[in-house]
Chains A and B, each alone.
Chain A
Amino acid sequence: MARNLSMKDAINEALDLEMRRDPTVIIMGEDIAGGAGAQGEEDAWGGVLGVTKGLIGKYGANRVMDTPLSESAYIGAAVGAAACGLRPVAELMFLDFMGVCFDQIFNQAAKFKYMFGGKAQTPVVIRGMVGGGFRAAAQHSQMLTPLFTHIPGLKVVCPSNAYDAKGLLIQSIRDNDPVIFCEHKNLYASMADVPAESYTIPFGEAAIPREGKHVTIVAYGLMVHRALEAAETLSKEKIDVEVVDLRTLSPIDLDTIIESVEKTGHLVAVDEANPRCSIAADVIASVTEHAFKALKSAPKAITAPHTPVPFTPVLEDLYIPSAERIADAVRKQLK
């Protein structure tokens, strides 16, 4: 049966179902149960925002491992364990913390299969929070998806809703390659109809949450919701917007983007990341390269500015692309 489930609960359920199905799936991270070695309650936190709550009770401390605050060591251990037959899902609380363990991800996990001539597989998932809006400032709010997407050998996922989050996370765990699973912290509470059963969503297949004829907006993560908001506003002005939700950034579904732009002739690419070498820039470059003749106006990127994420709400709200900025970009294109 389908139930209305939050994205946070959908992620928890995906982990639960895969741990039940496959005994080689283990999860690890800082405070994913919480209170390890302390006198108080077990599973005190269940992850800093409670995403992994309840799993230690079902699967025990051998499979739900609290780690020292030591990202290089445990992310590397997850990578090593993956190369040795386990399917670890390591939580990197905020993906901004990639800074202290990036070598284990991009020089190790991402390289093994190619560098060892196809003789290794590394089925590790590194999941964590991305994005702004939590007033968490420069080191806990970034959208670093372009960094991960740049690295061959990594797959990069960023769901926009609970249904996709569950299916994409199950796919990530079953995938034999390292996957960076980006969870937008501002979407944890968003609700969707989610089947109780296990299901997968293949990588490299964009969704079209709204069909339209006049303009294509390409987005992912939280920006899908901003794009839909803009589309709703624009529909009152007789502008019929199509919204493409990328769902996975590597691989990327260029076919769907191009098909849509060939229909609409206009492209606005929205990205919560900083502008240079962003997903938005990449989408625009690809469309320009492959479907230049379909374009009736210059494509437009709507991104965060080239600044760190500011703390104070008034500035952070300016930093994150708004529905209004997106709508304005669309109006300008159609002028």
Chain B
Amino acid sequence: MSDTIKQVVMPKWGLSMKEGKITKWLVSEGATVSVGDELTEVETEKIASAVEATDAGVVRRILGEVDTIYPVKTLLAIIADASVPDSEIDAFLASYVPPAVEEDEEVVDIYSTVTLPVGEIRYAKYGSGDKTLIFIHGFGGDCDNWLFNTSGLADQFSIYALDLPGHGRSVKGFNDASLSGMADVILSFMDALSIDSANLIGHSMGGAISMKTAIKAPKRVKSVTAFGTAGLGADINIDYINGFIGSDSRREIKPFLEELFFDAGLVSRQMIDDILKYKRLDHVPESLRELADTVFKGGKQSENLIDAFKATGIPMTAIHGADDKIIPAAHSEAAKSFAKVEILAGTGHMAQMEKSKEANALIAAQAK
């Protein structure tokens, strides 16, 4: 392949992604783009996102058509310097051999289970590296909430993302349905996998669990990176929590899920279906209710961890969407005295998904 001709291909966001659908081109042929510019919107079964330019130059050809589904690695566009003659591009395309389609070669199963005192816990393991990251999802979430982050960081770190008890494919029940009980689960998870210490990355309730883990065992937590985190104030959108627990149909749950994002259009049918699949497992609504009744007792967060966490001296980055409708961004701002705080404009409660690039950079910076 010519060094001067750069390919834009259907990306692979997360290990389960096999194909994506182009919903809109954001550039036209002839446009000059810089690295990081958004080229096209792609929708996968998990989420919609933009494909960014990894090379600078002129968009010479747009090959991917709108409303068409392409396998990952499919050539979607050509970027080249304005000086490259059209004939060279034509020649490249004429001799272009599409990459072999990966026949469902049994993708190395990234999911495993481990039996802890609380019961069976599912987790995903990605990448390798000297430093270990443990990703802890929020209320009602699961380890796949981090797909954009784990796939973006796997080349630098050893990554674990687990399903908390009551969540995902882990045991549906708790020994202790509280932040402290959840912190115990994280510590027993680390024990079981011989992880001496790790950088914890938490979202929402998972951020509070990360902080609580650090408070309980400061030597085992190198840093905390928290997105839209709980534990820094009293407010919680309890209508969301109750709506999430109580909804059992697409129509009911959709408006609640839309509150999670700045752009409600990110709530795809597949996302709703996946959440309903989880919520329809036996004992899930009861488990969520039990947890909410402790952690969000009386419609307020039951624990403020600022003072105790501050005392540990463990470094923390708090990232919050300015438009978070679940936990207000003001909570993270209150952590400025001890944490690096990033408030992201045009971002909702799912900052790690909505702004995955920034999120990954912040995670890497904090963990390094």
Contacts and interface: CB of A to CB of B under 8 A. Distances in A.
Direct contact of A and B (CB under 8 A): yes
Interface of A: 1-2, 163, 167, 195, 197-202, 205, 207-208, 211, 213, 235, 238, 240, 255
A195 B67 CA distance: 31
Given A2-B169, A207-B273, A208-B269, A199 B249 contact: no
A211 B68 CA distance: 12
Interface in B163-217: 169, 172
Interface stretch (B226-234, B276-284, B325-333): B276-284
Contacts of B269: 208, 211
Contact of A197 (B67, B172, B251): B172
SS class, residues of chain A in contact with chain B = loop
B113 A202 contact: no
Contacts of B251: 255
Q: Is the interface of B mostly helix, strand, loop or mixed?
A: mixed
A238 B250 contact: no
Interface string B47-76: 000000000000000000101110000000
Contacts of B65: 238
B280 A167 contact: yes
Contact of B111 (A1, A163, A199): A1
Interface size band for B: 10 to 19
B69 A1 contact: no
B248 interface: yes
B281 A195 contact: yes
Interface of B: 65, 67-69, 111, 113, 122, 169, 172, 248-251, 269, 273, 277, 280-282
B248 to A, nearest CB: 6
Closest 3 CB pairs of A and B: A198-B282, A199-B281, A199-B280
28 contacts: A1-B111, A1-B122, A1-B169, A2-B169, A195-B169, A195-B277, A197-B169, A197-B281, A197-B282, A198-B281, A198-B282, A199-B280, A199-B281, A199-B282, A200-B280, A200-B282, A201-B280, A202-B248, A205-B250, A207-B273, A208-B269, A211-B269, A235-B68, A235-B69, A238-B65, A238-B67, A238-B68, A240-B67
A143 B5 CA distance: 56
Contacts of B280: 167, 199-202
A227 to B, nearest CB: 16
Given A200-B280, A201-B280, A238-B65, 14 more contacts: A1-B122, A2-B169, A195-B281, A197-B172, A197-B282, A198-B281, A199-B277, A199-B280, A200-B282, A207-B273, A211-B269, A213-B67, A235-B69, A238-B67
Contacts of A1: 111, 113, 122, 169
A160 to B, nearest CB: 14
A255 B251 CA distance: 10
